[in-house]
Amino acid sequence: MAISAPLNTALRAFAMLLFVVAIAACSRTPNAMPTGVGNLGPGGGAPGSQQEFLVSVGDRVFFETDSSNLTPTAMSTLDKQAAWLNQYSNYRIMIEGHADERGTREYNIALGARRASIVVNYLTSKGVNGQRITSQSFGKERPVAICNDISCWSQNRRAVTVVQ
C-alpha cells in the first residue's frame, strides 16, 4: 500500500528538485506556487505518506516582508496541516523558519526563529502535540527562489513543516 521508504525519499527529493528548478526559473506568474508545491500535478501520494503531506496538504506558509504574522492563506494551510498531523500522529515534525535576503544576517536568523515559533504555536493550538515538534531557524541562508524580484523574495519568507 504505502510507497516503500527509499522510493518515498527519492520521490520527495525529486519533488523538491522540481520545486527548486521551477522557482529558479523565476516565474512571474501570480499564484504560481500558493503553497510551494501546488503545481506538481497529479499524484498526491498514498494517504498518510510524506508525499501526500507535501503535495495535497502543503508543507509551507509564506509571510509578508519583515512580518511574522500569519496571513489568512497561511492559517488555512496550517489548519490543513494540523488536521493531517492529528490524523497521522506517528510523524515527528520540524518547523523551519526562513527569511528573504532583504534583511541583515543576524536579524533574519531571529526573524526565522520568530516565524517558526508562530507556526509551532498555531499548530499546537490546533491540537498537535508540542512534544512532536522541533523548530530551527535558517535566517536568509537557505533561499528557494533565486532572483532580484519581489515575487521571488516572497517565496523565501516561509516556514516549512517537515514531517519526519
CB of 143 to other proteins, least distance (A): 6
Q: Is the dihedral of CA 71, 77, 78, 80 positive or negative?
A: positive
Write down the least CB distance from residue 118 to other proteins, Å: 6
Q: d(Cα 73, Cα 18) in Å, to the nearest integer?
A: 23
How many CB atoms sit inside 10 A of residue 131's CB? 8
CB closer to other proteins, 54 vs 118: 118
Stretch that binds other proteins, among 2-10, 30-38, 41-49, 137-145 (CB under 8 A): 137-145
Residue 32 identity (one-letter amino acid) = A
* Stated length of the chain: 164
> With the C-alpha atoms ordered 31, 49, 78, 63, is the resulting torsion angle positive or negative?
negative
Touching other proteins, residues 93-112 (CB under 8 A):
101-107, 109-111
Binding mask 60-89 for other proteins (x = CB under 8 A): ------x-x---------------------
Strand partners, 95: 135, 161
Residue with cell 510507497: 3
The three cell numbers of residue 56 are 495535497
Q: Is 144 in the site for other proteins (CB under 8 A)?
A: yes
By beta-carbon proximity to other proteins, the closer residue of 88 and 91 is 91
Q: Given the complex with other proteins, which of 11 and 119 has the nearer CB atom?
A: 119
> Under the rule (CB under 8 A), what is the footprint of other proteins?
20, 24, 66, 68, 101-107, 109-111, 113-114, 116-118, 121, 134-137, 141-144, 146-148
